[in-house]
Amino acid sequence: MEMRDDMYVNVQDLARGRPASEELSYENSAIERYHHQKTAEVDKAHTHAANPTKQNRGRRCYIVALVCLGLLCVLLLIATIVLWIMFTVEQDQLQSRLLNVTNERDQFKIHQPQKEAEYLQGIAAYLANTKQQGWKLFHTSLYHISSEENTWSKSRVNCQERGADLVIINSVEEQEFLVENLGHNRAWIGLTNINYEGIWKWVDGSALTTEYWNNGEPNNLNNHEHCAEFRGIPLKTNWNDRQCSEKEQWVCEKTVF
Q: Output the DSSP codes for 43-106.
A: HHHHHHHH-HHHHHHHHHHHHHHHHHHHHHHHHHHHHHHHHHHHHHHHHHHHHHHHHHHHHHHH
What is the closest distance, in whole angstroms, from the C-beta atom of residue 119 to Ca ion in the complex?
A: 46
Does position 217 bind ligand BGC by CB under 6 A? yes
Contact status: 225 vs ligand BGC (CB under 6 A): yes
Q: Can you tell me the distance from the alpha carbon of 12 to that of 2, in angstroms, rounded to the nearest whole number?
A: 15
> Shortest Cβ distance from residue 220 to Ca ion (Å)?
7
To 10 degrees, the CA torsion angle through 171, 173, 178, 183? 130
Task: Tell me how far, at minimum, the Cβ of 158 lies from ligand BGC, in Å.
Answer: 22
Q: Which residue from 129, 219, 245, 255 is in contact with ligand BGC, where contact means CB under 6 A?
A: 219
- Out of 219, 224, 234, 245, the only residue in the binding site for Ca ion (CB under 5 A) is 219
Q: Is residue 160 involved in binding Ca ion (CB under 5 A)?
A: no
* Residue 34: half-sphere exposure toward Cβ, Cα within 13 Å: 6
Strand partners, 187: 230, 249
Among 240, 248, 249, 253, binds Ca ion (CB under 5 A): 240
Q: Is 242 in the site for ligand BGC (CB under 6 A)?
A: yes
Interaction of residue 241 with Ca ion, rule CB under 5 A: yes
**What single letter denotes the amino acid at residue 231?**
R
Reduced to 3 states, what is the DSSP secondary structure of residue 175? helix
Least gap, CB of 152 to ligand BGC (angstroms): 13
Binding status of residue 72 toward ligand BGC by CB under 6 A: no
Residue 248's binding partner, choosing from Ca ion, ligand BGC, none, with beta-carbon cut-off 5 to 8 A by kind? none
**Omega before 234 within 30 of 0, i.e. cis:** no
Nearer to Ca ion, 143 or 250 (CB): 250
In whole angstroms, give the CA distance from residue 159 to residue 151: 12
Binding stretches for ligand BGC (CB under 6 A):
217, 219, 221, 225, 240-242
Binding stretches for Ca ion (CB under 5 A):
217, 219, 225, 240-241
